Amino acid sequence: MAADSEMVSLFKQELALCNVGEGTRLAILSEGDVRADYATAFLEAAEDLGADAFQVNIRKRPGSFFGPGNSLKGNASAIAALKGVDMVVDLVGLLWSKEQTEITEAGPRMLLVLEHVEVLRRMLSSPDDRRRVEAGAKMLAGAKEMRITSPGGTDVVYRLGRYNVVEQYGFTDTPGRWDAWPGVFLYTAAHDDGVDGTVVIDKGDMLLPLMRYVSEPIRLTIERGMVTGIGGEGVDAELMRTFMAGFDDPRAYAVSHIGWGLDARAKWEFMGTSHAGAHSGGQDGRAYYGNVLFSTGPNTEVGGTNDTLCHLDIPLRGCTLALDDRTIVENGRVVPEELRAAGR
Ligand code: FE2
């Protein structure tokens, strides 16, 4: 397959942000023919930059899915090959699985790339995005409490300090560090029993991976870190109840990572739609500038032990988020000067 020259030039920009250059050992992880065009273009982009690049292509197993359900599980020789390089481009979605941790702990940095190429192009990051996320991470790491409120009725408090702060700025040049392209945002999680209050998922907010904009509010009751009630008469509340119950796992109802978005290029309106090539698999919503990204389910990504397969990412718009006594986001507007994108 010949590589698309525009894609190659875009991927070269991304790999350059990741400090890929002369002699960098780079592996592209793919499965079956999924994103085969990305793999080909990454190989060419890497070679243009002087890197030693190769592809690890595994069989996509029936029923495999992101994260802990990945097809790499048990494939010792493929894992060994990935552990032996400087950087892995993940086109499969290892996402916080044991396999991902095993590889990055051996040294390689890892970049996840799943989104549509037009989303990758629109949301290509810059070093300034990294600066803003790192500034936010300092604030988050130093905070004891996070409070989120909204005009729709959200009022919830997270007791912080137990888990890691995860920075995502859309590229990685640090050994062992994971990131995803695209997306500029950050998050942590509360103590396991440290979330109490109400979260209202309001009209127009997103339910991922159900890929829906909510049309009638869903009202979550949260006690000691667990969702104990999913209120709401609309179809979205019913879908959420059914989706979560389907895993038959009490750990599905744990509250998971929490943070806010800083990506000024993200567009709320493009999730799951096909508009002028702007189709987004949800990363726009996760990273959206001034959002709050609420989530339920596993907490392995921040260093916890809950590895339930039921994970919901729920981007909320127009909230106010405070760390201790400092307002970080006010009605969807990013407040601290050092976190704000140019012109925002
Ligand atoms: Fe998540």
| DSSP letter string, 283-310 | HHHHHBTT-EEEEES--GGGT-S---S-
Q: How far is the CA of 191 from the centre of ligand 1 (A)?
A: 17
Contact 59, 71 (CB under 8 A): yes
Q: How far is the CA of 22 from the centre of ligand 1 (A)?
A: 34
Q: How far is the CA of 56 from the centre of ligand 1 (A)?
A: 26
Structure-token pair, residue 302: 């921040």
Beta bridge partners of 259: 187, 293
Among 190-194, 298-302, 311-315, the least confident range: 298-302
pLDDT > 90? residue 146: yes
What pLDDT is stored for residue 65 in this prediction?
80
pLDDT > 80? residue 307: yes
Q: How far is the CA of 314 from the centre of ligand 1 (A)?
A: 8
pLDDT > 80? residue 234: yes
Q: What is the mean pLDDT of residues 12-35?
A: 97
3-state helix, strand, coil in the chain (%, to 5): 30, 30, 45
pLDDT > 90? residue 111: yes
Q: How far is the CA of 4 from the centre of ligand 1 (A)?
A: 31
Q: How far is the CA of 50 from the centre of ligand 1 (A)?
A: 34
Q: How far is the CA of 114 from the centre of ligand 1 (A)?
A: 14
pLDDT > 60? residue 218: yes
- Look at the alpha carbons of 43, 45, 47, 49 in this order and tell me if their dihedral is positive or negative: negative
Q: How far is the CA of 1 from the centre of ligand 1 (A)?
A: 34
Q: How far is the CA of 48 from the centre of ligand 1 (A)?
A: 34
Q: How far is the CA of 121 from the centre of ligand 1 (A)?
A: 22
End-to-end CA distance of the chain: 42
Q: What is the mean pLDDT of residues 129-158?
A: 98
pLDDT > 70? residue 279: no
Q: How far is the CA of 65 from the centre of ligand 1 (A)?
A: 14
Contact 84, 224 (CB under 8 A): no
What pLDDT is stored for residue 96 in this prediction?
83
What pLDDT is stored for residue 243 in this prediction?
97
pLDDT-derived band at 64, boundaries 50, 70, 90: confident
Structure-token pair, residue 133: 């996320």
Q: How far is the CA of 297 from the centre of ligand 1 (A)?
A: 8
Beta bridge partners of 314: 294
Is the bond into 182 cis (omega within 30 degrees of 0)? Answer: yes
pLDDT-derived band at 271, boundaries 50, 70, 90: confident
- Pick the more confident residue, 92 or 273: 92
Q: How far is the CA of 313 from the centre of ligand 1 (A)?
A: 5
**Integer angstrom CA distances of residue 326 from 150, 185, 199, 334:** 16, 18, 20, 12
Q: How far is the CA of 207 from the centre of ligand 1 (A)?
A: 11
Contact 329, 148 (CB under 8 A): no
Contact 1, 40 (CB under 8 A): yes
pLDDT digits (tens, 9 = 90+) for 181-198: 999 999 999 999 999 999
Q: How far is the CA of 188 from the centre of ligand 1 (A)?
A: 11
pLDDT-derived band at 252, boundaries 50, 70, 90: very high
Query: What mean pLDDT is reported for the chain?
Result: 95
Q: How far is the CA of 294 from the centre of ligand 1 (A)?
A: 8
Q: How far is the CA of 298 from the centre of ligand 1 (A)?
A: 8
Ligand 1 (ion): residues with CB under 5 Å are: 295, 313
Residue 110 belongs to what H/E stretch?
Answer: strand 109-113
- Pick the more confident residue, 118 or 296: 296
What pLDDT is stored for residue 325 in this prediction?
93
Structure-token pair, residue 134: 């790192």
Contact 115, 7 (CB under 8 A): no
Q: How far is the CA of 144 from the centre of ligand 1 (A)?
A: 22
What pLDDT is stored for residue 273 in this prediction?
62
- Pick the more confident residue, 209 or 243: 243
Q: What is the mean pLDDT of residues 65-69?
A: 81
Q: What is the mean pLDDT of residues 115-141?
A: 96
Q: What is the mean pLDDT of residues 271-278?
A: 60
pLDDT-derived band at 231, boundaries 50, 70, 90: very high
Is the bond into 315 cis (omega within 30 degrees of 0)? Answer: no
Q: What is the mean pLDDT of residues 203-219?
A: 95
Number of alpha carbons in the 13 Å side-chain half-sphere of residue 198 = 14
What is the spatial distance between Cα 189 and Cα 321, in angstroms, rounded to a whole number? 14
Q: How far is the CA of 63 from the centre of ligand 1 (A)?
A: 20
Contact 203, 215 (CB under 8 A): yes
Beta bridge partners of 218: 201
